Structure 1
Amino acid sequence: MRIENSFIPVRGVGEHTERRLWEHGITHWDEFDGSVVGETLADRIDAFIEDGRTHLDRGDVSVFADQLPASSRWRLYENVRENTCFLDIETTGLDANRNRVTTVSLHWGGETETFVNGRDLTCQRLEAELERSSLLVTFNGQRFDVPFLETCYDLDVTVPHVDLLYPCKKLGLDGGLKAIEREVGIGREMPDLSGQDAVRLWHEYERGDDAALETLVEYNRADTENMKPLMETVADRLHRQVFETCCPSGARER
């Protein structure tokens, strides 16, 4: 599903109205003709579509992220999948005012880069990486990863953000990242570690155990890399659940 199939970012259009448009064959911006809804709302949708095309031509999905509920931001992914950054952090605790970020992994374009506290993890490096991405994907990052980075590194993260926790809940997928991975069939090669293990490994590294850091980095990278297949799975399932179930055959997605 692409942004061009969406009408709920328009003020006054909820899921019920959007579904009614789809059921009448208006499944893409190109098909909107002002029917089905009243004149005032039709004018608002026309203005939204015109403005939306300008943003999409620039590869900018921020305006849509601001107008979509957290559980619906998965709709942004298809438009900018090639420029999506998957992010996960490890820390020494849960309080950003007292604890530290130890590692940050970023995965996109098939490559993963990990920054380590005391080596190359700096505000400038993080800003540079985030500024070149069109979309940020995390798991529970809206409440944890992003605020933690903003506090510890004085960042202002403005990249449009999909927190997978919320679309997963929409699908009835509850629990932590690893539990959801197992439920949808995404495997891991390394042993199942926990957040407490990540803290222990960092402290062992600080005491001189370089192998502990290698394990911590591998764990952090696995969390980050596995978000991509989870994002693909969630987007595909929600596409079928939200879009295909109510649209007439031949509905236009692209």
Structure 2
Amino acid sequence: MRIENSFIPVHGVGEATERRLWEHGITHWEEFDGSVVGSTLADRIESFIEEGWTYLDRGDVSPFAESLPAASRWRLYENVRQETCFLDIETTGLDARRNDVTTVSLHRGGETKTFVNGRDLTADRLTAELEPASLLVTFNGQRFDVPFLETCFDLEVAVPHVDLMYPCKKLGLDGGLKAIERDLGIERDMPDITGRDAVRLWHEYERGDDGSLETLVEYNRADTRNMEPLMEIVADRLHEQVFEAACRRD
């Protein structure tokens, strides 16, 4: 599903109205003709579409991210799949005012990069890595990863953001990232490690154990890489559940 199939970013259009448009064959912006809804709302939708094309021509999905509910931002993915950056961080605790970020992994275009505290993890480096991205994907990053980075590195992450935890809940997929991976059959190349293990590995590295850092980095990279197949599955399932199901109705 693409942004051009969506009408709920328009003020006054909820899921029921959007579904009614789809059921009447108006499944794409180009098919909107002002029917089905009242004249005031039709004018609003037409203005939204005209402005929306301008943003899409620039590859800018940020206005749609701001107006879509968190559980519906998966709709942005198809438009900017190749420019999507998956991100995950490890920390020494849960409080950004007292704890540190230890590693940050970013996965984009089939390549995963990891930055380590005390080596190459800096605000400038993070800014440079995130700047080319059209979309940021995390798991629980809206409440944790992004605000943690912003606090610890005094930066603003302005990239449009899909937190996979919310569309997963929409599909009835509850629990943490690894539990959802198991439910969906997404495999990992390494044994399961907990967040507590990640803290322990970092402290072991600080005491001189480079092997512990290697394990921590691979754990962080696995979390980040596995979000890509999860995003694909979530987008496909919600496309079927939300869009295709409505379009098939007589």
TM-score class normalised by the smaller sequence:
over 0.9
**Structure 2 partner of 1:9:** 9
- Note if 1:164 corresponds to 2:167: no
Q: RCO (CA 8 Å, sep 6+): is it higher in 1 or 2?
A: 1
Q: Which amino acid aligns with 1:166?
A: Y
**Structure 1 partner of 2:141:** 141
**Structure 2 partner of 1:233:** 233
Structure-2 separation of matches of 1:155 and 1:174: 31
**Structure 1 partner of 2:189:** 189
- Runs (5+) with no aligned partner, structure 2: none
- Note if 1:22 corresponds to 2:22: yes
Aligned-pair distance for 1:248?
3.8
- Note if 1:109 corresponds to 2:109: yes
User: Where in structure 2 are the equivalents of 1:207-226 lying within 5 Å?
Assistant: 207-226=207-226
Alpha carbon RMSD of aligned pairs, Å?
A: 0.7
Write the deviation string for residues 139-169 of structure 1: whole angstroms up to 9, x where unpaired: 0000000000000000111100000000000
When the two structures are superposed, what TM-score results if normalisation uses the length of structure 1? 0.97
Tell me the SS of whatever aligns to 1:53. helix
Q: Which amino acid aligns with 2:15?
A: E
User: Where in structure 2 are the equivalents of 1:62-211 lying within 5 Å?
Assistant: 62-211=62-211
When the two structures are superposed, what TM-score results if normalisation uses the length of structure 2? 0.99
Tell me the SS of whatever aligns to 1:10. coil
Tell me the SS of whatever aligns to 2:180. helix
Structure-2 separation of matches of 1:168 and 1:239: 13
Structure-2 separation of matches of 1:210 and 1:177: 26
Structure-2 separation of matches of 1:241 and 1:19: 12
Structure-2 separation of matches of 1:159 and 1:40: 32
Structure 1 outlier segments of 4+, above 3 Å: none
Contact kept, 8 Å, 1:140 with 1:165, in 2: the verdict is yes
Aligned-pair distance for 1:2?
0.2
Aligned-pair distance for 1:75?
0.2
Structure-1 separation of matches of 2:27 and 2:123: 42
Contact kept, 8 Å, 1:102 with 1:117, in 2: the verdict is yes
Write the deviation string for residues 52-71 of structure 1: whole angstroms up to 9, x where unpaired: 00000000000000000000
Q: Which amino acid aligns with 2:103?
A: T
**Structure 1 partner of 2:45:** 45
Aligned-pair distance for 1:246?
1.0
Q: Which amino acid aligns with 1:207?
A: R
Structure-2 separation of matches of 1:38 and 1:51: 20
Tell me the SS of whatever aligns to 2:112. strand
Aligned-pair distance for 1:131?
1.0
Identity in percent: 82
Count of aligned pairs between the two proteins? 249
Tell me the SS of whatever aligns to 1:218. helix
- Runs (5+) with no aligned partner, structure 1: 250-254
Aligned-pair distance for 1:206?
0.3
Contact kept, 8 Å, 1:10 with 1:48, in 2: the verdict is yes
Structure-2 separation of matches of 1:155 and 1:202: 24
Q: Which amino acid aligns with 2:90?
A: E
